[in-house]
Every structure is written in C-alpha cells, then in structure tokens.
Amino acid sequence: MIRIDAHQHFWQYSPATHDWITPEMAVLQRHYLPEDLAGNLKKAGFTGCVAVQAAQTEAETEFLLNLAVEYFFIKGVVGWVDLRADDARERLAYFAQNPLFKGVRHVVQDEPDNLFLIQPAFLRGIALLQPLGLTYDILIFPRHLPVATQFVVQFPEQKFVLDHLAKPFIKKGELQPWAENLKKLASYPNVSAKLSGLVTEADWANWQPQDLSPYLDIALEAFGPERLMIGSDWPVCRLAGEYEAVMQVVVDFVTALSPDEQAAILGNNAVQFYNLKM
C-alpha cells in the first residue's frame, strides 16, 4: 500500500520569518528539515510526503523545491506565489516548469479581511491555476467556511483541498455551525479535505483520540473516503503529540472502512489529487 503524508512542513527557523511561532510553541523554535522527518515516515509506514509552505515568500517555494530534488520521499511541493500580483501568471508559469511544484497555498486564516478569498485580485490569481494543472490548498478558520463555499463555486474545474478541516473548535467540543458549513463546502465535488492539524485544535496536553472522532466522522460523511487524505501537519503537530501517535489516530479511524477506502485516504487520494510520481 502506498502511504502518503499529504501535509507537512520544513523550515530553517528564524524569529522574523516565523513570527507566528509564539513562546508557548518553543518546541517549534528550531530547524525542521527532511532528515528530521525521514525516520518518522519510515517508522509509521509512510512512503512519502507533500511539503507545504509555511512562509509567504517565493524563497520558501524555492527552498522546498530544492529539498524535494534532494530527498526522494518528498513527492510534491505546495508553495506560495502572490496570486494578487500583476505578474502572477508569469511567476506561476515559472514554478510550474518544475514537475515537483504541485500547487499553491495562501495563509488566508491570518488575513484581516474575512472576505479575502473572494477579493477580485485573488480570484484573478486563482483562475490561473487550473490551466497549469495546479491545485489550491484552502487554509481557513471555521468562520471562513461560508465564504469558502462562495469561493469554490466560481471555479468548478479547479482542484481544491481544505487544510485541517478548517480547524474546528475541538478543545471546546463545538460541532456547529462548523459541521453544517463543512457539509455545504463538501457538496462541491472538486473540493477535497485533509485529515490533518486536528490534535493542535484539541487540548494539547490532554487530548484523546475519541476527542477527534466526532470531527472525523463528520468529515467522512461530508466528503466520503474518495476525497479525504491523511496529513500529519508535522512539525506543528509536535505541540500536541509526536508523529506516529498523531498519524495513528487517522490510521485507526479508517480501519472500519474497506481496504480500498483505507488505501484511498492513506495515500491514493493524495497521489491522484497532487498528481504525484511514485
């Protein structure tokens, strides 16, 4: 079985670049590079990974692509390009020449404008992705889900994936209105979702797998096994748990499904979505 971690990060830590890493996140205040991940992947039985941007610079995109050339287990890169820029078409075309460049992400959750996704300049940039065969990772909070639905409906041929199920309020045990809004977004067949980043939305020190179960159940009902993919969100997940334990939550969750459905969520969907070469 091909197993792919569809969402993790690498960085060379600097306080200026990674200002989102607060003092309570001290475990993240260091370099995290492929040699730090390789053993975790192997121990957990994963074939490869997709490296996702953590800083909004083209230098970050180049950094990840260079790592992917050097380390065979990095099967693809989701980078950053300023989609609102006048030269967005040229910059995307430049990166798309590299077959390891699979898609783009913007840290929309940090934008002060809750309607950022439907800003005209951003929409113009999104329209450039599908002709180049590029995907788009949606990184938002629960409050953004209705806007995300307005966003994706405008691009029925574009491949979208929702990161971290939009970060539901697991620590508070809240399901609504997140669940209802998630199902509306999932009603569009070109939208997939990552079962990733959930432990860090729970109680970091005291979470149990059953705390995540209701959210996983809702995601499975909304997207079906054919549009879900497992992701670690490593090293961010280390705030709440180590790699193998975090991944095991989803591995255990899918054991109730058929072998084909398990294979889809644990690897095949990521291969298909990101067009990974194995």
Residue whose C-alpha is closest to residue 106's, from 83, 72, 135, 85: 83
Annotate 159-210 with DSSP letters as a single string.
Answer: -EEEGGGG---TTTT--TTHHHHHHHHHTSTTEEEEE-S-GGGS-TTT--HH
Question: Span 77-86, mean pLDDT?
Answer: 98
Amino acid 33: pLDDT: 98
Whole-prediction pTM value?
Answer: 0.97
pLDDT in tens, 219-250: 999 999 999 999 999 999 999 999 999 999 99
CA–CA separation, 192 and 225 (whole Å): 10
State yes or no: pLDDT of 17 exceeds 90: no
Q: Based on the number of CB atoms within 10 Å of its own CB, is 83 exposed (0-12), middle (13-18) or buried (19 or more)?
A: buried
Mean pLDDT of the residues in the chain: 97
Share of the chain above pLDDT 90, in %: 98
Q: Peptide bond before 168: cis, by omega within 30 degrees of 0?
A: no
Question: Span 87-91, mean pLDDT?
Answer: 98
Q: How confident is the model at residue 60 (pLDDT cuts 50, 70, 90)?
A: very high
pLDDT in tens, 136-169: 999 999 999 999 999 999 999 999 999 999 999 9
Amino acid 21: pLDDT: 92
Amino acid 1: pLDDT: 86
State yes or no: pLDDT of 41 exceeds 90: yes
Sheet holding 228-230, edge to edge: 4-8, 48-52, 74-79, 101-106, 135-138, 160-162, 191-195, 228-230
CA–CA separation, 265 and 270 (whole Å): 8
Question: Span 19-42, mean pLDDT?
Answer: 95
Amino acid 73: pLDDT: 98
Residues 6+ apart with CB under 8 A from 235: 8, 9, 27, 28, 32, 36
Look-up: residue for tokens 């079985």? 1
pLDDT in tens, 112-139: 999 999 999 999 999 999 999 999 999 9
